Structure 1
Amino acid sequence: MKALWIVTGMFLLAGCATPLPRSLRAPHITPVSVAAARAHIAPMGVRVRWGGVISKVTNDPHATWVQVISRPLRHDGRPRRARFSDGRFLARVPGFLDPDIYAVGRKITVVGVFSGYKKSLIGSYRYNFPMVRTFAVHLWRIRPHYYTRYYYADPWYYPYPWPWGWGVGLGPGFGP
């Protein structure tokens, strides 16, 4: 009976796990960061999985160049909401990507081959972008942002403005 509960618990926990999307699964991914590529530490030709927030989309006749502000990836491949970045990178996607769908501010994860550097401008600053020739692109759905309102733990608390700045607690519980 105890073994049945253990097996049931394992299946329930496995059902809660969020796997990597099928398009982002690739063998022999090298854990190289964008910062390492910018510092010229990363070897050319390794497979990488990078992601972040789209900064710019440019379409050429044969490919689309997606400029991405790098973010660290979660266990499921989705870019984290982080206040810092390893830098920017360029993803070369064969074919056409609609700039209205792949819009600025959307989260994206790419799998591809690190293929060198390309100098380009960000404003008037000359930036050395690491390039990725992609063979898989995953555009993440927009998640709604929920606002949470916090309440005091004491249901009897009334924040009456006394001259000394305290409120009145009318029952048992916790004040602010």
Structure 2
Amino acid sequence: MRTPLTAIAAMVVLAACASQPPPLQGEFAQITPREAAEADRTGALVRWGGRIVRVEPQPNRTCFEMISTRLTVTARPYWASDDTGGRFIACRTGFYDPAVFEVNREVTFTGRIAAYETRKIGGYDYRFPRVEADIVYLWPVREQVDVITRPAPWPWWGWW
């Protein structure tokens, strides 16, 4: 009787580890910023994330220019390859310090697509969907760990 209860408890604990933070939970339109820029999706409720390109504090709000990436099951941005989901702008009432929200930090937003803006990236005119964000979720910096391996002594089978 104890073994099945222990196994069930372990599964519950592991499932909790893979869940999304409460502010990022919910049902959202399954579209990328690139898809939203190609067709008018004004009003769609989205959960998008990626890396910060630029932070623009304004008098009553802060806007973030983002490069979109896929999200993991926990809703954290994930760089699987150089293929991104496009770019977007997310704005939220209040001041978000550019010293904290630095370039390349990972952020996930939830909110509705409110409008579109055309801005230049280099010499190219790019159509950005603009999200009026309800949630701005800054992820902790990922720690990089270097793993050092040592070669096994030769012959390995005689050294235990």
Q: What is the TM-score with the length of structure 1 in the denominator?
A: 0.80
Question: Gaps spanning 5+ residues in structure 2: where?
Answer: none
Larger strand percent: 2
Q: Is the 8 A contact 2:52 2:67 kept in 1?
A: yes
Partner residue in 1 for 2:87: 88
Q: Is the 8 A contact 1:24 1:137 kept in 2?
A: no
Correspondence list, 1:1-176, <5 A: 1=1, 4-16=2-14, 17-26=17-26, 28-40=27-39, 43-83=41-81, 84-152=83-151, 154-156=152-154, 171=155
Q: CA RMSD in A?
A: 1.6
Q: CA deviation at 1:172?
A: 5.0
SS at structure 1 position matched to 2:18: coil
Question: Greater relative contact order: 1 or 2 (C-alpha under 8 angstroms, separation 6 or more)?
Answer: 2
SS at structure 1 position matched to 2:78: coil
Q: Is the 8 A contact 2:32 2:86 kept in 1?
A: no
Q: What is the TM-score with the length of structure 2 in the denominator?
A: 0.88
Q: CA deviation at 1:38?
A: 2.2
Per-residue CA deviation, residues 31-65 of structure 1 (Å, 9 max, x unaligned), is 2222211221x632111000000010011111111
Question: Gaps spanning 5+ residues in structure 1: where?
Answer: 157-170
Mapped to 1, the partners of 2:49 and 2:64 lie a distance apart of 11
Mapped to 1, the partners of 2:37 and 2:150 lie a distance apart of 47
Sequence identity, in percent? 31
Larger helix percent: 2
Aligned residues: 154
List, as ranges, runs of 4+ consecutive aligned residues in structure 1 with deviation greater than 3 Å. none
SS at structure 2 position matched to 1:71: strand
Q: CA deviation at 1:81?
A: 2.4
SS at structure 2 position matched to 1:127: strand
SS at structure 1 position matched to 2:13: helix
SS at structure 2 position matched to 1:38: helix
Q: Which amino acid aligns with 2:132?
A: R
SS at structure 1 position matched to 2:29: coil
Computing the radius of gyration over CA atoms, which structure comes out larger, 1 or 2? 1
